[in-house]
Chains A and B, each alone.
Chain A
Amino acid sequence: MVILREGICPGVNEEFIKALQSEDIKTVEDFVSCNPEELAQKCSLSYKALVAVRRVLLAQYTAFPVSGADLYEELLSSTAILSTGNPSLDKLLDSGLYTGEITELAGSPGSGKTQVCFSVAVNISHQLKQTVFYIDTKGGMCANRLLQMLQSKTPNMEEQMEALQKIKVLRVFDVFSLLACLQNLRSNGLQKASVGGGSVKALMVDSVSAVLSSMLGGKQNEGMSLLMQVAGELKMIAKDFNIAVLVTNHVTKDGNGHLKAGLGQSWSHGPRTRVLLQRIEGAGTSSLRTATLTKSSRQITGFEERNDLIMDK
């Protein structure tokens, strides 16, 4: 709800607000839903002033329609596909991470989600030379591991440092700081980063369930609302800045004992593509994992790929 206050737009001064409050109109939505003619009759404001203010408020707060043809042109020129550096993962994802979408990696602890995030970050910063924002909510970010991965790609120290500089790490440990961080990024962080040369093409959140799952369950409405707000922020960032968003999630079992991504039905509408990572049974401490595509708007789901997560061999 947007509360009507002085100065919200030209023409709205204190007496305007007082006159509206006497008619029990306190928010912008109430004001816009009222008929200006009736309002002019009931309170002491002029019809002209009411219509003018209504028009300005509508212009400020509504979203404007875009023609389909223009939207298509814009998308053709701005959508990009970022390779993850791992050919079998790329095959699952239909050539890589798409900008403007959220891709989700789900898996139980130790299934390799963080390692995959590291290798994707390293690939984007080194191979594609683009900036990556990495939001770490579990404390699992380890710069030494990133360096190790880079060292296997190039022996040149300068290149390694350059690539490391392109990975920006943000640490948040609860959902409110995560929301604040995402809102900050949306309002000025991303633009600042792209001014410094090198555009931001990817945002990773490892992991989203670490901060949200403690808020869910029981009769807490706040948890669901925060979950939807986080999903909304991530989607807005993906769409407005043409960024590929990669998030990690834990897994739970459904009624039939099959693994499914955590955080419930409401969250699952958010990501466009979902990959489930699993250890291979009986393989002991090997680094082999299977990745299964469980949700995709572009490919048939159920595809499985086995891959070795240790990239520097």
Chain B
Amino acid sequence: MEFRNDCAKINEMTARVRMAENGAQLVSRLEGRQSLRDIEPNIFPVDGGPGQGDVVEFHGLEGTGKTETLYHLITRCIMTVQSGGLEVAVVFVDTDYHFDMLRLVSVLEGRLAEGSKEGDGSENESEERVRSCLCRLSVVHCNSSVQLLLTLQYLENTFSSQPSLGLLIIDSISSFYWVDRFNGGESTVCQEANLRKCAELLNRLRRNYGIVIFATTHAIMRNYGSDPGVSEVPGSSSSSSSRRWRSADSATDFDKPYLCKAWQRIVTHRMLFTKSHVSKDHKQVFSTACTSIMTKGVKRCSFHVMEDGIKFVCDK
């Protein structure tokens, strides 16, 4: 069985080389993408920022700031280097029609205003700058796991032909969990089939092209043991999960991983979002706790959500 697997792998690798590759594709495969390691030192562990091929999972209840953090990271990527960005193109896959372009633009405008000098150009110029930044972002809407799988297949071509594309964001990868679970009937294998194929495809994308993947997952499964309240359907399914994530704080009772093993295997960083206390000046504080398979310990951080984006309150 192993021998056959190896043969299949070799076949696949050589098949990839045999497929006609033009110059641009070759360069993009070999040269590697822009590094995103210092995309946000506040939330990622020291020396543990997302490198090429890393997969970061943003996990949390609704209203805990996951999407706001994504907007913050997107603006950092798409802005020009002069304004303090990384000039990296981003593909945003929106699976639950959650993406709020108007909110992203207000965060972007806020950061561009911060980065530019005073009296630097008229309104037209700032609109031009926003537009040119937005050209580095593409948005795709998917409404079923089949469409997600096929769209990722299609995007593979896009990644190979555009070396400036360094980041793929999927918000969120858990939206089809219940629909797939019902469609798969009694067999767990059938239920997870589409997500497993997506995870395998994402694994291939990150290995071959070195892109970074951020994916959000909603926290909908309650951890038993802490609070015997009313809960969702008993999750005795696929989620007897990875011990390696237990080191993070399980302060919330909703941080149980429930997606299929194929997905959990490729995740390299896990960020848990929670709503903390309300500070003295009546601002809601959100916190993140980031663990990764490469570093020990947990990197914690807090932030407020303001008009023009996230403001960190880190004390480290």
**A228-B158 contact given A28-B150, A29-B146, A300-B284, CB 8 Å threshold:** no
Considering the chains assembled together, what is the distance between the CA atoms of A224 and B219 in angstroms? 15
Contact with B along A201-230 (1 / 0, CB 8 A): 000000000000000001111101101110
Contact B254 A265, beta carbon cutoff 8 Å = yes
Which of B135, B141, B143, B284 has the largest number of chain A CB atoms within 10 A?
A: B141
Closest to B16 in A: A35
Partner of A32, one of B96, B142, B150: B150
A238 interfacial by beta-carbon distance below 8 Å: yes
Closest to B18 in A: A37
**A75-B136 contact given A1-B183, A269-B218, CB 8 Å threshold:** no
Contact B284 A67, beta carbon cutoff 8 Å = no
Q: Count the A-B residue pairs with Cβ separation under 8 angstroms: how many? A: 153
Contact B182 A224, beta carbon cutoff 8 Å = yes
**A221-B181 contact given A35-B12, A62-B154, A72-B105, CB 8 Å threshold:** yes
- Minimal beta-carbon separation of A246 from chain B (angstroms): 16
B138 interfacial by beta-carbon distance below 8 Å: yes
A254 interfacial by beta-carbon distance below 8 Å: yes
A297 interfacial by beta-carbon distance below 8 Å: yes
A235 interfacial by beta-carbon distance below 8 Å: yes
Considering the chains assembled together, what is the distance between the CA atoms of A223 and B181 in angstroms? 11
- Minimal beta-carbon separation of B269 from chain A (angstroms): 22
Instruction: Identify which of residues 200-224 in chain B touch chain A, using a CB-to-CB cut-off of 8 Å.
Output: 201, 218-220
In this complex, the interface size class of chain B, counting residues with CB under 8 Å from chain A, is 35 or more
- Minimal beta-carbon separation of A235 from chain B (angstroms): 4
B134 interfacial by beta-carbon distance below 8 Å: yes
The stretch among B21-29, B110-118, B228-236 that forms the contact with chain A is B228-236
**In the assembled complex, which residues on chain B have CB atoms less than 8 Å from the CB atom of A76?**
102
Instruction: Identify which of residues 66-124 in chain A touch chain B, using a CB-to-CB cut-off of 8 Å.
Output: 66-69, 71-72, 75-76, 79
Partner of A72, one of B134, B136, B141: B134
Contact A72 B101, beta carbon cutoff 8 Å = yes
Contact B147 A221, beta carbon cutoff 8 Å = no
A266 interfacial by beta-carbon distance below 8 Å: yes
Per DSSP, chain A at the interface is: helix
**A219-B103 contact given A68-B134, A224-B181, A269-B96, CB 8 Å threshold:** no
Contact B11 A221, beta carbon cutoff 8 Å = no
Chain B residues engaging chain A, CB cutoff 8 angstroms = 11-12, 15, 18-19, 61-63, 78, 91, 96-98, 100-105, 130-131, 134-143, 146-147, 149-151, 153-155, 158, 175-176, 178-179, 181-183, 194, 197, 201, 218-220, 227, 229-230, 232-234, 254, 282-284
Can you list 8 A-B pairs, Cβ within 8 angstroms, ordered by A? A1-B146, A65-B138, A75-B102, A218-B233, A221-B178, A224-B233, A228-B179, A232-B97
Chain A residues engaging chain B, CB cutoff 8 angstroms = 1-2, 28-29, 32-33, 35, 37-38, 57-58, 61-69, 71-72, 75-76, 79, 218-222, 224-225, 227-229, 231-232, 235-236, 238-239, 252, 254-255, 264-266, 268-270, 272, 295, 297-298, 300-301
Shortest beta-carbon contacts, A-B, top 8: A225-B182, A68-B137, A68-B134, A65-B138, A224-B178, A235-B97, A69-B134, A62-B154
